[in-house]
Structure 1
Amino acid sequence: MVQIIQGKDVSLNQLIEEFDLQRNDDENFFREWQENLPELNDLERQNIAEIKTEYQHLSRYPILEPVVKMVVLSPLLRLAGFYQPPFYIASEEEVEISSEDEGTIIR
């Protein structure tokens, strides 16, 4: 009988362990993503390599969006100069929705 596993119920680490998945580090795998890019200096290459290594380690386990933002997105935005003028980064404003039903408040 075929076993069906829901994506929400499995981690990358489980797939690696159970199905012997292997990372493909072939630089030509998605060649179209690498064409016509500016050259990086040695420090930028080193920073990107560190970000990649940290993400690859953490991605084997359940990882939530705030961790991805902290480990990957924020350092990449810094390297790209998005924290410097003329750019400005604003966070989302908090929105609260509340409903009461038979003495129970749901937020």
Structure 2
Amino acid sequence: MVEVIQASNLALYELEERFNLVQVQDYDFFPEWQGIAQDLTAYEQHWLNQAKADFLSLAEYPLYEEIVKIAVLAPVLLIAGLCRALIVPAAKKQVKVSFEDEDKVIRGREEWY
């Protein structure tokens, strides 16, 4: 019988080990991406390289969405100027439910639909 493994239960380092994957650093690997970075300033390129290095360093371990947001997405949004007014970032409101008869608290975030 075929073993089915949920992708969400695997870390990148496990895939690299299982399938003998190696990271390619050659910029010519995807020729269709050539020329994209030409419009970036040296400052922007520096911070994108830093975000990439941070992500690749973290990718050796199990990654969670919040870690990626902090390490990669936040710096990229900052450099892109997407955290300034007229664009106002928003986050899901934290919700806490407690029960009078029990010593239990349920915490979560409100869903947007």
TM-score of the two chains, using structure 2 as the length reference: 0.70
Once the two structures are TM-superposed, the CA of residue 36 in structure 1 deviates from its matched residue by 6.7
The share of aligned pairs that are identical, in percent, is 29
Q: Distance in 1 between matches of 2:36 and 2:97?
A: 46
Answer with 1-10 or 65-74: which moved more. Answer: 1-10
Q: Give the RMSD, CA atoms, in angstroms.
A: 3.1
C-alpha change, 1:97 and 1:43, in structure 2 (3 Å) is same
C-alpha change, 1:49 and 1:12, in structure 2 (3 Å) is same
Structure 1 unmatched ranges of 5 or more: none
Match of 1:95 in 2: 95
Match of 2:30 in 1: 29
Once the two structures are TM-superposed, the CA of residue 24 in structure 1 deviates from its matched residue by 3.2
C-alpha distance after superposition, 1:36-90 (max 9, x if no partner): 7771111111111011011011112111111111001100010001122222112
Q: Distance in 1 between matches of 2:96 and 2:22?
A: 43
C-alpha change, 1:104 and 1:85, in structure 2 (3 Å) is closer
TM-score of the two chains, using structure 1 as the length reference: 0.73
Structure 2 unmatched ranges of 5 or more: 107-113
C-alpha contact 2:54 2:71 (8 A) present in aligned 1: yes
- The count of corresponding residues between Structure 1 and Structure 2 is 105
Q: Distance in 2 between matches of 1:56 and 1:66?
A: 16
Match of 2:65 in 1: 65
C-alpha distance after superposition, 1:5-47 (max 9, x if no partner): 332332111121232111234445272x667777111111111
C-alpha change, 1:34 and 1:75, in structure 2 (3 Å) is farther
